[in-house]
Amino acid sequence: MKHDLQHTKDGVSHVGIGYYVITANCSIEVLAYSAYSDSCKPTVGNVKMNGAVVWQGSYCTNFCDPRGVNTLVIDPYSCSLLQSRRFDTNDIENAATQLSNYLQELNNGSVIVGVTAGEPTLKLSSAFLTLQQFGAEVADVKYFGSFAFIAQKGYPVKTVLRKVLKPDESRPSPARLNALITGI
């Protein structure tokens, strides 16, 4: 809220209150990828904000393979990446617990992008409840399936979630979503 001092012709000062609406204009494209294949066939996933790549991973290419669940905390007003974390829920025993703890520690109102890479589900089960609290119900995603979401902590009804449940579907057409954040 802003207070403006306004003068009239009669020389009397009046205090007016002006209200400003702060809006965002942030386009987000999310593409997960699955490494499920009988051979090493290159596949790439990414997250773009207003067209700029802010996260990228791949399987069987020169890029890194950030297997598991990757989270990006973003500022929708400046459309910028604040923090990126990887949780290897395919290989590391406590990665799902670390993911849950990380998400629970975020401030209410934080905007999070989630994107899977390679194989995210093998050791993900202990994070299902926390992900569900964010509006990302992914317990039905099978081994080598994929999912992507955009969520705001504390507002699960706002979550946009895409998931591809089976590996034979996820490999050729992994989870992807496009969203435009215009306000939160």
17-73 tens-digit pLDDT: 555 556 679 999 999 999 877 678 878 999 999 999 999 998 887 777 888 999 999
Which of 163, 105, 102 lies closest to 136 in space, CA to CA?
163
Would you give the end-to-end CA distance of the chain in angstroms?
A: 18
Whether 65 and 35 have beta carbons less than 8 Å apart is answered as: yes
Q: What is the pLDDT of residues 87-96, one digit of tens each?
A: 999 999 999 9
Cα–Cα distance between 117 and 34 in angstroms, integer? 6
Q: Which helix (H) or strand (E) holds 100?
A: helix 95-105
